[in-house]
Chains A and B, each alone.
Chain A
Amino acid sequence: MAALLEVRNLSKRFASRAGREPSPWIIRDLSFSVADGEFLTIVGPSGGGKTTLLNMIAQIDTASGGEIVFQSKSAPLGDKTSLKPGLNCQIGYVTQEDNLLPWRTCLENVLFPLMAQGRLNDETRAHAQSLIRAVGLEGWEKHYPHELSGGMRKRTSLIRTLVYDPPVILMDEPFGAVDAQTRVQLQEDLLRLWNLGRKTIVFVTHDITEAIALADRTLVLTRQPSSVAGEHIITIPRPRDIRDILTHPEFVDLYRRIRAQVQ
Chain B
Amino acid sequence: MTTPTLSGQAAGAAALLRGGPLGLLARKRDQLLVLVVLLAIWQGLSILLGEYWIGTPWGTVRRLVSGIADGELLQHASYTVAEAIIGFLVGGIPAAALPFVLRRLPMVTAIIDPIMVGGYGSPKLALAPLFILWFGIGIESKIALIVFTVFFIVYFSTLAGIRALDPKLVQMAQMSGASESDIARHIIFPGAVPHIFAGLRIAMPYSIGAAVVAELISANRGLGYMIQLRSMNFDTTGIFVALAAVCFIVAVANWIVNIVERHLLLWRPPADVTAQKE
Contact = CB atoms under 8 A, between A and B. Distances in A.
A85 B175 contact: yes
Interface stretch (B48-56, B120-128, B179-187): B179-187
A113 B179 CA distance: 11
Contacts of B171: 60, 85, 99
Contacts of B268: 102, 146
A92 interface: yes
Most buried by A among B175, B176, B193, B267: B175
B24 interface: no
Interface string A144-163: 10110000000000001000
B177 A89 contact: yes
A58 interface: yes
Interface string A97-120: 101011111000000110011000
A91 interface: yes
Interface size class of A (residues with CB under 8 A): 20 to 34
A125 to B, nearest CB: 16
Given A86-B177, A112-B186, A95 B269 contact: no
Contact of A116 (B168, B177, B190): B177
Most buried by B among A104, A112, A117: A112
A164 interface: yes
A88 interface: yes
B86 interface: no
Interface in B153-191: 166, 168-169, 171-179, 182, 186-187, 190-191
Given A99-B169, A101-B190, A112-B186, A58 B267 contact: no
Contacts of A99: 166, 168-169, 171-172
B6 to A, nearest CB: 30
Nearest to A91: B175
Contacts of A146: 267-269
Dominant secondary structure of chain A at its interface with chain B: loop
Interface string B185-214: 011001101000000000000000000000
Contacts of A89: 175-177
Contacts of A86: 174-177
A113 B168 contact: no
B185 to A, nearest CB: 10
Contact of A58 (B175, B177, B191): B175
Interface in B131-168: 166, 168
A259 to B, nearest CB: 32
28 contacts: A60-B175, A85-B171, A85-B174, A86-B174, A86-B176, A89-B175, A89-B176, A91-B175, A95-B168, A99-B168, A99-B169, A101-B186, A102-B267, A103-B193, A103-B267, A104-B267, A112-B178, A112-B186, A113-B176, A116-B173, A116-B176, A116-B179, A116-B182, A116-B186, A117-B176, A144-B269, A146-B268, A164-B177
Contacts of B175: 58, 60, 85-86, 89, 91-93
B87 to A, nearest CB: 30
A125 B193 CA distance: 28
Interface of B: 166, 168-169, 171-179, 182, 186-187, 190-191, 193, 267-269
Contacts of A104: 267
Most buried by A among B171, B178, B182: B171
Contacts of A103: 190-191, 193, 267
A147 B270 CA distance: 11
A115 B88 CA distance: 35
A191 to B, nearest CB: 24
Contacts of B169: 99, 101
Interface string A219-259: 00000000000000000000000000000000000000000
Contacts of A93: 175
A99 B190 CA distance: 15
Given A89-B175, A116-B179, A116-B182, 18 more contacts: A60-B171, A60-B174, A86-B176, A88-B177, A89-B177, A93-B175, A95-B168, A95-B172, A99-B171, A99-B172, A105-B267, A112-B173, A113-B177, A117-B176, A146-B267, A160-B176, A164-B176, A164-B177
Nearest to B194: A103
Contacts of B182: 116
Most buried by A among B168, B176, B179: B176
Interface string A78-90: 0000000110110
A49 B178 CA distance: 28
